[in-house]
């Protein structure tokens, strides 16, 4: 087996008593002394600090011309309005393939003279190769070898402004570059928990010092991957490789909101991205299935892979669960999955087969808990 990689905070995780697990080729903390449930609740009530340094960080700059040329080049790979993304702003997007499937989902920021792109850990090498092969003749692609932290929760602003005062003025999806006693920080007001907060790119040799400084505040605790998963699931956010993948289109995944009008049929720059015929066709005519929220009855979660049926006995399989866990904030099990279009209405009862027994679940709106972003 390939040796697992380590983030710049690996030694500090050991000091903090983290339980480490393999994740996306890295040794990552799944939980600390508090445990998953308390870490989840701490993030919802105060401020949780996550090491997400396994994520990929890419800089896209023009070989000739300016950032507008980079944006138009990137638009050939994503069904997202990049040309209309203002300086200092960030947008969610995804690479698509020729069949309209999602190669990866990502965050794209306009930093004036270049774009900053954050991609998933398991996909980052493939994403880099994809960019170089497709638009490398027009765009310079650089890997930023830096640590990445996420400070999330209702007290995140109160904490972080003590280190970077101007962070308090940011709104959801703003990005800035700020000086600090920990060197230059690349900051976005965003996250993966449904809470207000920041994602902070910091030089590797300053990562531990910044982490210690943040953890020194009473409002902050270190949080692992276990709570990160339950937090993002309550927030209705997709996990790549589970809820979305190369065989899932953005329309099936209920991500139409991320495809701006400029890239849709009749828009200023309609189509022109990989799989546009499939995706624009599904926007017009609908898809045969859709990602939905599921609230199982009782206390037993319906985990990934649970088949979904249209009746308690017999009947047809109409879908499958892609993520499932107990939601500490909502106080009950929750799942996401795909069901046939005729079963997507809120309140519809479907049946998940758990250990040979069919149990009822109700189609629910996503997110399970309203997000708390600072607009």
Read off the DSSP letter of residue 345. S
Determine the pLDDT at residue 1: 55
d(CA 201, CA 21): 23
The separation between CA 253 and the C-alpha centre of its own chain, rounded to angstroms, equals: 13
CA-wise closest residue to 153 among 332, 373, 375: 373
Say how many CA atoms lie within 13 Å of 249 toward its Cβ. Answer: 23
Going along the chain from its start, the domains and CATH numbers come out as: 1-238 (3.30.1360.120), 256-364 (2.40.30.110)
Query: What tens digit of pLDDT does each residue of 318-368 get?
Result: 999 999 999 999 999 999 999 999 999 999 999 999 999 999 999 999 999
Determine the pLDDT at residue 235: 98
Determine the pLDDT at residue 375: 82
Query: What tens digit of pLDDT does each residue of 197-242 get?
Result: 999 999 999 999 999 999 999 999 999 999 999 999 999 999 999 9
**Phi/psi class of residue 134: alpha, beta or left (left: φ > 0; alpha: ψ in -120 to 50)?**
alpha
> 351 pairs with which residues across the strands?
309, 360
> Would you tell me the crossing angle of helices 36-45 and 225-234 to the nearest 10 degrees?
60
84 contacts: CB under 8 Å, gap ≥ 6: 260, 262
- Classify 154 as helix, strand or coil: coil
Give me the residues of the chain with pLDDT under 50, please: none
């Amino acid at each position: 087996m390939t040796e697992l990689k380590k983030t710049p905070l690996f030694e500090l995780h050991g000091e903090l008593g983290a339980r480490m697990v393999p994740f996306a080729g890295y040794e990552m903390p799944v939980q600390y002394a508090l445990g998953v449930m308390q870490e989840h609740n701490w993030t919802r009530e105060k401020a949780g600090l996550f090491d997400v340094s396994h994520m990929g960080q890419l800089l896209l700059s023009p070989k000739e011309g300016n950032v507008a040329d980079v944006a138009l080049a990137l638009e050939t790979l994503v069904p997202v309005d990049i040309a209309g993304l203002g300086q200092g702003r960030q947008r969610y997007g995804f690479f698509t393939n020729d069949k309209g499937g999602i190669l990866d989902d990502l965050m794209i920021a306009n930093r004036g003279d270049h774009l900053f792109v954050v991609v998933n850990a398991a996909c980052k090498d493939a994403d880099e190769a994809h960019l170089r092969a497709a638009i490398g003749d027009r765009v310079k692609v650089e890997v930023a070898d830096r640590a990445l932290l996420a400070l999330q929760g209702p007290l995140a602003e109160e904490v972080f402004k003590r280190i970077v005062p101007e962070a308090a003025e940011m709104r959801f999806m703003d990005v800035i570059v700020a000086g600090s006693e920990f060197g230059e920080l690349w900051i976005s007001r965003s996250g993966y928990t449904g809470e207000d907060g920041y994602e902070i790119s910091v030089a590797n040799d300053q990562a531990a010092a910044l982490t210690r400084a943040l953890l020194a505040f009473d409002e902050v605790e270190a949080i692992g991957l276990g709570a990160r998963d339950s937090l993002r699931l309550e927030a209705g956010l997709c996990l790549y490789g589970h809820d979305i993948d190369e065989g899932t289109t953005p329309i099936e995944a209920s991500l139409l909101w991320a495809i701006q009008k400029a890239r849709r049929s009749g828009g200023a720059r309609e189509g022109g991205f990989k799989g546009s015929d499939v995706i624009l066709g599904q926007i017009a005519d609908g898809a045969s299935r859709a990602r939905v929220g599921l609230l199982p009855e009782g206390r037993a979660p319906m985990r990934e892979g649970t088949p979904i049926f249209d009746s308690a006995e017999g009947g047809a399989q109409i879908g499958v669960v892609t993520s499932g866990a107990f939601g500490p904030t909502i106080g009950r099990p929750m799942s996401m999955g795909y069901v046939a279009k005729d079963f997507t209405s809120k309140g519809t009862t479907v049946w998940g087969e758990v250990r040979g027994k069919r149990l009822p679940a109700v189609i629910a709106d996503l997110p399970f808990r309203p997000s708390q972003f600072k607009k």
